[in-house]
């Protein structure tokens, strides 16, 4: 712009062909039209400061230009400006550009109630034409931020998203781009260029060349200019979209927020591409600290049926946001929730008792939410490495959201058989709940015939992996990212069975270890596979089949081959790579291994805590145990509704589902985080199974919660895993925690210290009953050297002989043990061996405490949240155990035969209930247990009719 003199500042700025300025600037909310009254030429009525005068002059000139184009679509910008376009680049008042002012004027027209009138539409069209022309030729103005802290794009998206779409439509689309790259038919064949010229950028350039006839002008003549303008526009749009100041929301936020009211997928997709990671993840924040992903997901809080089309687009947008910026999945808003967690906490179920139409609508809303949650779950699980299992669980299942399993890892089992699969599918592990999307499924070899003499009928042989995958499908699994199967055995699964197993599960990583598997099988079972691990016997024909054009090249995601096969490398590599490169723009990664490769790993069991020795079949178990098992069985035989609601957490090395004749209420593994983290029922050590069986023997109605803290190949107890197990047990609201193991106390270790604090909180703050075993060692050891038994708040349990004396293994802890229970030469019915150790006694103590609570529950009528709540505390249980032990010679051995009557001596249930009532002597200060709930029927007579 020409440099102004001091005298120029005293005169209003005006074009030669414009009317005089009356000294006032138009209000941005006031429409200026051709009939706006003008005063006589002269000085302004209001004179701004001299240093601001030029800005006021420029703003006025911008408004005058806009006013001209508002008259209608007949004015061509190129003809109006000619070569004098410098005024367009000049900044105006408050650092606004002409684009800011155009957006303001267009918004004013859009807001008119009669915007459907032809004259208003004509005005809008003229301004739209000017806006697009200015942006094409002066795209450098787009990143300019006015004093309002907004770019023109932000201003446009705040109220009328259509303006942003007009701008995005200026970018070249793929079709126009490709047409420009092709040779012009006009030049090659002396014909007419048939390239479409209706693209906005091309159209506006054609108008700039209006002096040429329509037949002589060809877009190919302007290819370089078109590409330059497009690159400049794209670059400046990126800058503008990634520019935010203060708390201004980004264009992407606004576009997604208003999408349902004005859906247009292609421009919004382009907007996301241009915005990039910076806007999606960090810079684009609204007042709630929500990312654009949050905004898109929250549109599904209360989806509207009339927005069906827009909502389907938003699902694609959510996928696109995560694809461009996976980190957005982990960003938290002001409530410390990710986008997934926000929607998961709002998930609703169908309302009952409503009109069918309302129920259908609620069901549809819930279905929409579930679909979005599945998109996010799939993205999150697939974008994080498998070893981050614990992090994934924390993300997917925050406080208040029910946990599900996101993988099935059985590879630590040497083999799996029919009995094991039946246990997975049956009542024993009925609490197993799987996500719709699984990170991986890893399976060991099947139990198959080892010789010609082995019978198959009625055996535990597993003839196909199909049973496992069909069970997962019935459990609701829709997708598995990675499948690892060790099928390198004499009788591998058939191709048809493999297809039936994996079909519909959208497997992306294939590691089914079977020699020479056919390409057809892979294509039918997992057409969308991205990574292949193949196993070859070296058969030349199979290798050629993989490499031929009808082989792996026909996969949907064909990718560059990376075979690691030593022989036939050059042939296979060259052929397969050539085929795949021609098939698809995407890639499948292929690995080939020679026969003999192993899949998965199998760890050894942990060392047994309790010692074992063979037992004579004729030998009997402890009289203590026999008596309590008989008593418990008689209680089980009572026809009582909800007989027992006692929860016991067993924190140990997992359980063997094959050896449990009862149902596990729930379980979870807290083994050290790794890809091959074993579930609580996979290749467990024998110890936890024994503990669970002993507790169940004494209290058959108990609800067991299994927390595994020791992996298959590790014999020590990790304190960090033990801490998490305690926290989980509290979350499950258990009554009793049983820990039949010890670890070295070390307060300098933060993990050990955290474990101690977790145990103390469980007893002191949560009022849980915690039983712990003494350290079995005949040498001199201080109890303080071991946790958890060395923590003052817990019950310290030692082992007793058949005669009720303390076992020699605990002789140095005589003053430490609070109570002793059978733990010497106890018969293990599962293994037919005698087992020894205070861990046995601890499990029996946990079972006895559970039984006491169960008995009190039967006869207690306290109006607590749960019957018998007053006995669910350390103080009550300690008095109960004291009363059971006071008359023993050691004062520590519960003499159950003196207090727990023989219920089998009573033929009627009412007589058994009277006998149970005598247990009131266990707590002298407690209310009498003869106060029975009225109106509840046990057997045939109401308890209100019972009199002792």
User: Active-site residue numbers?
Assistant: 652, 687, 839
Q: 385: alpha, beta or left, given left = phi > 0 and alpha = psi -120 to 50?
A: beta
In 3D space, the residue among 61, 264, 37 whose CA is nearest the CA of residue 157 turns out to be 264
Question: Can you count the helices (H) and strands (E) in the chain?
Answer: 32, 20
Q: Which helix (H) or strand (E) holds 162?
A: helix 161-168
Q: Are 406 and 439 in contact (CB under 8 A)?
A: yes
Q: Is residue 153 within 8 Å of residue 241, measured between CB atoms?
A: yes
- Indicate the helix (H) or strand (E) that contains 669: strand 666-669
Distance in angstroms (rounded) separating the CA atoms of residues 500 and 736: 45
Which of 106, 18, 101, 90 lies closest to 54, judged by CA? 90
Is the peptide bond between 607 and the residue preceding it cis, with omega within 30 degrees of 0? Answer: no
Q: Give, in order, the Cα–Cα distances in Å from 918 to each of 124, 358, 852.
A: 92, 55, 12
Burial of 498 (0-12, 13-18, 19+ CB in 10 A): buried
- Closest to 475 measured CA to CA, from 430, 419, 510, 413: 430
Report d(CA 397, CA 84) in Å as an integer. 63
| In contact, 744 and 786? CB cutoff 8 Å | yes
* The residue to which tokens 């309790």 are assigned: 610
Among residues 16, 21, 33, 85, the alpha carbon closest in space to that of 59 is found at 21
Report helix, strand or coil for 283: helix
In whole angstroms, what is the distance from residue 649 CA to residue 688 CA?
Answer: 11
User: Minimal CA–CA distance to 447: which of 490, 509, 407, 396?
Assistant: 490
> And the tokens for 817?
């043990």
Pairing type for strands 589-594 and 531-536 reads: parallel
Residues 6+ apart with CB under 8 A from 230: 171, 172, 201
- What is the longest distance spanned by two Cα atoms in the chain? 124
């Amino acid at each position: 712009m020409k440099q102004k003199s001091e005298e120029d500042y005293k005169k209003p700025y005006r074009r030669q062909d414009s009317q005089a300025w009356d000294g006032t600037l138009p209000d941005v909310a006031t429409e200026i039209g051709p009939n706006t009254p003008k005063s006589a030429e002269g000085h302004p009525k209001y004179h701004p400061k001299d240093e601001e005068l030029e800005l006021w002059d420029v703003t006025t000139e911008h408004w005058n230009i806009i006013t001209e184009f508002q008259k209608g679509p007949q004015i061509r910008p190129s003809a109006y400006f000619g070569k004098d376009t410098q005024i367009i680049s000049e900044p105006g008042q408050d650092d606004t550009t002409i684009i800011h002012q155009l957006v303001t004027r267009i918004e004013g027209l859009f807001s008119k109630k009669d915007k459907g009138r032809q004259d208003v539409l004509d005005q809008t069209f003229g301004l739209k034409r000017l806006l697009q022309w200015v942006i094409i030729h002066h795209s450098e103005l787009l990143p300019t931020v006015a004093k309002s802290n907004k770019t023109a794009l932000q201003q446009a998206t705040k109220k009328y998203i259509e303006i942003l779409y007009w701008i995005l439509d200026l970018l070249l689309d793929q079709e126009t781009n490709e047409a420009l790259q092709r040779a012009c038919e006009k030049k090659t064949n002396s014909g007419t260029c048939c390239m479409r010229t209706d693209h906005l950028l091309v159209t506006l350039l054609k108008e700039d060349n209006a002096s040429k006839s329509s037949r002589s002008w060809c877009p190919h003549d302007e290819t370089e200019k078109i590409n330059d303008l497009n690159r400049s526009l794209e670059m400046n749009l990126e800058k503008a979209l990634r520019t935010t100041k203060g708390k201004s929301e980004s264009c992407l936020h606004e576009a997604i927020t208003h999408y349902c009211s004005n859906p247009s997928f292609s421009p919004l997709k382009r907007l996301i591409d241009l915005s990039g990671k910076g806007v999606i993840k960090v810079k684009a924040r609204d007042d709630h600290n929500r990312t654009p992903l949050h905004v898109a997901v929250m549109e599904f809080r209360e989806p509207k049926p009339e927005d069906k089309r827009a909502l389907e687009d938003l699902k694609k947008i959510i996928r696109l946001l995560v694809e461009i910026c996976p980190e957005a999945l982990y960003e938290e808003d002001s409530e410390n929730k990710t986008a997934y967690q926000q929607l998961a906490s709002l998930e609703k179920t169908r309302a009952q008792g409503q009109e069918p139409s309302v129920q259908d609508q609620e069901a549809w809303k819930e279905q929409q939410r579930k679909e979005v949650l599945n998109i996010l779950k799939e993205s999150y699980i697939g974008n994080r490495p498998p070893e981050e299992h614990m992090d994934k669980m924390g993300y997917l299942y925050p406080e208040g959201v029910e946990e599900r399993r996101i993988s099935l890892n059985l590879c630590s089992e040497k083999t799996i058989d029919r009995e094991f699969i039946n246990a997975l599918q049956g009542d024993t592990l009925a609490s197993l709940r799987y996500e719709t999307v699984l990170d991986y499924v890893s399976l060991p070899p099947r139990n198959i015939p080892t010789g010609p003499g082995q019978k198959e009928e009625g055996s535990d042989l597993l003839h196909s992996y199909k049973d496992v995958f069909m069970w997962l499908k019935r459990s609701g699994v829709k997708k598995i990212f990675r499948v690892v199967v060790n099928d390198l055995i004499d009788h591998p699964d058939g191709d048809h069975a493999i297809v039936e197993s994996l079909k519909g599960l959208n497997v992306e990583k294939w590691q089914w270890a079977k020699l020479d598997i056919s390409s057809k099988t892979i294509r039918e079972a997992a057409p969308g596979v991205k990574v292949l691990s193949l196993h070859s016997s070296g058969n030349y024909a199979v290798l050629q089949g993989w490499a031929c054009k009808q082989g792996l090249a026909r996969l949907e995601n064909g990718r560059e081959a990376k075979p690691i096969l030593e022989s036939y490398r050059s042939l296979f590599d060259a052929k397969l790579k050539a085929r795949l490169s021609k098939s698809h723009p995407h890639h499948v990664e292929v690995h080939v291994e020679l026969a003999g490769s192993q899949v998965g790993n199998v760890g050894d069991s942990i060392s047994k805590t309790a010692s074992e020795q063979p037992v004579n079949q004729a030998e009997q178990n402890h009289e203590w145990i026999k008596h309590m098992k008989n008593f418990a069985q008689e209680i089980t035989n009572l026809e009582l509704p909800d007989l027992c609601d006692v929860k016991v957490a067993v924190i140990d090395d997992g359980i063997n589902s094959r050896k449990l004749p009862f149902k596990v209420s729930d379980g979870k593994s807290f083994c050290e985080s790794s890809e091959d983290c074993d579930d609580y029922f996979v290749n467990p050590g024998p110890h936890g199974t024994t503990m669970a069986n002993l507790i169940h023997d004494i209290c058959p109605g108990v609800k067991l919660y299994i927390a595994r803290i020791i992996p298959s190949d590790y014999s020590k107890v990790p304190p960090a895993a033990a801490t998490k197990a305690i926290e989980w047990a509290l979350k499950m609201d258990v009554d009793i925690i049983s820990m039949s193991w010890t670890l070295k106390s070390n307060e300098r270790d933060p993990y050990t210290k955290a474990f101690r604090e977790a145990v103390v909180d469980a007893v002191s703050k949560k009022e849980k009953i915690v039983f712990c075993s003494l350290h079995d060692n005949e040498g001199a050891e201080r109890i303080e050297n071991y946790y958890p038994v060395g923590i003052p708040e817990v019950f310290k349990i030692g082992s007793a002989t058949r005669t009720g004396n303390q076992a020699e293994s605990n002789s140095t802890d005589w003053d430490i043990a609070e109570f002793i229970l059978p733990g010497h030469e106890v018969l293990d019915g599962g293994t037919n061996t005698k087992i020894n150790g205070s861990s046995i006694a601890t499990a029996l103590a946990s079972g006895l405490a559970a039984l006491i609570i169960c008995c009190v529950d039967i006869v207690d009528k306290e109006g607590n949240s749960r019957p018998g709540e007053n006995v669910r505390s350390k103080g009550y249980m300690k008095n109960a155990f004291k009363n059971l032990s006071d008359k023993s010679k050691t004062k520590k051995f519960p003499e159950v035969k003196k207090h727990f009557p023989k219920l089998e001596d009573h033929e009627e249930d009412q007589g058994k209930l009277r006998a149970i009532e005598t247990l009131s002597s266990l707590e002298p200060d407690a209310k009498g247990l003869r106060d029975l709930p009225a109106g509840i029927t046990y057997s045939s007579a109401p308890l209100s009719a019972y009199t002792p």
